[in-house]
Structure 1
């Protein structure tokens, strides 16, 4: 059984446990009875006051807390007002906001860093990138994907709406599955701020290299004169 937990989820549980005056271990076990392991940010975001009350009043024998304490704990489990949260804030985005943009996924384990390997990173940071705008539009945990029979296929599906994937490393078989999902994988061996890599991608949109031009569905600048010649023929 996969019992791993992200640092973000552990932080939320620890703060909620403090609000309820129980130990993090007690709260983790109580939540696991209702939400199953591994506990992820996605699962914690679905927690309600009633679910938390039932979890604490279950076989674990934790006394039921006051309703206001339960409400505070649930908000902390959702990530609201969590001081020290390592997850970066996302920017508002609606489909169609950024014409001629590409979507970039960055493998990450810490904050807004590009520091993850495809098969083991804790989350993907999702950026929408155009020539004049750049937004972090989503943060996607990979824990649910790791329950799948083929986690590389599941991880590929998690970013299937993206055009480009930046990772520190990725194996050949995993890269083939990413490509099959119509995502172009790029290795960035040295860890660093993900936004810096997104800015470099943004700078290349005006005159994209051939691989990026294919992703964007445009003719590479180096081939434009040949395309014009074909039109004039």
Structure 2
């Protein structure tokens, strides 16, 4: 395997492929490596493995008599992405019921590692969903976009799975995908440098203290820039 893996990546790539092979009944490590090199090109790197999709694995096993079950392939895909290997697990969502946080907005964060804003919209491993108000930010759900790969339009499917969110924070997103997100009623914001999700959330909380009109409508409050006009209308009435 070492000749098919880039220097500096051997240990982690071997660990990912080994775990993936063990999660796929009857899968031989050597054949899996050959298939991955054929699909991604050699030498293999962690970045190349991180770009794999469920459709890619489907194609690798399409000619197999005993093709793995869909859930088995999803588990293998997460191993190939490096999830759960030498890294802290994703954070645990907290309970939330509608109405718990008045004057709040729902934010989705594209993430690949723990609680970081470090994902591309079309290929991130998960979306961290937060309910955010001026006083509190609560992680309420972690959504797995892997099933969207099977959709006719994966980016539209990703946008639809976030349709209850008003904001989307990503490290990167293409123009056509951004248009689909906007059509779903979500406002996308790019953070090219990425970083801890909490840092961006704290900035959002500052914005919520004096929100622009469109965000104020989502929160159910009057924007400060419009409040004086509302007061004048009330006095005139």
- The alpha-carbon distance between structure 1 residues 169 and 104, as it changes in their structure 2 partners (threshold 3 A), is same
Aligned length: 179
Residue 35 of structure 1 is aligned with which of 50, 63, 70?
A: 70
- How far apart are residue 30 of structure 1 and its match? 5.7
Q: Give the match's secondary structure for 1:103.
A: strand
- The alpha-carbon distance between structure 1 residues 118 and 83, as it changes in their structure 2 partners (threshold 3 A), is closer
- The superposition leaves residues 120-155 of structure 1 with CA deviations (integer Å, 9 ceiling, x where unpaired) of 211111011112221111111111112111011100
- The superposition leaves residues 98-140 of structure 1 with CA deviations (integer Å, 9 ceiling, x where unpaired) of 1221110001111110011111211111011112221111111
1:68-107 counterparts in 2 under 5 A? 84-107=87-110
Partner of 1:116: 119
Over aligned residues, Cα RMSD in angstroms? 3.0
Partner of 1:228: 231
1:199 aligns with 2:234: no
- The alpha-carbon distance between structure 1 residues 40 and 212, as it changes in their structure 2 partners (threshold 3 A), is farther
Q: Matched residues in 2 for 1:226 and 1:101: separation?
A: 23
Q: Matched residues in 2 for 1:122 and 1:175: separation?
A: 18
1:1-233 counterparts in 2 under 5 A? 14=19, 24-29=20-25, 33-35=68-70, 38-40=73-75, 84-233=87-236
Q: Matched residues in 2 for 1:139 and 1:30: separation?
A: 31
- Which structure 1 segments of 5+ residues have no match? 1-6, 15-23, 44-78
- The superposition leaves residues 49-81 of structure 1 with CA deviations (integer Å, 9 ceiling, x where unpaired) of xxxxxxxxxxxxxxxxxxxxxxxxxxxxxx9xx
Q: Matched residues in 2 for 1:30 and 1:84: separation?
A: 28
Q: Matched residues in 1 for 2:170 and 2:23: separation?
A: 34
- The alpha-carbon distance between structure 1 residues 177 and 111, as it changes in their structure 2 partners (threshold 3 A), is same
Preserved contact between residue 112 and residue 193 of structure 1 (Cα < 8 Å): yes
- Which structure 2 segments of 5+ residues have no match? 1-11, 28-66, 79-83
- The superposition leaves residues 5-45 of structure 1 with CA deviations (integer Å, 9 ceiling, x where unpaired) of xx9xx98x94xxxxxxxxx513324696233564149x9xx
- The alpha-carbon distance between structure 1 residues 211 and 29, as it changes in their structure 2 partners (threshold 3 A), is farther
- How far apart are residue 162 of structure 1 and its match? 0.7
Preserved contact between residue 106 and residue 114 of structure 1 (Cα < 8 Å): yes
Preserved contact between residue 119 and residue 171 of structure 2 (Cα < 8 Å): yes
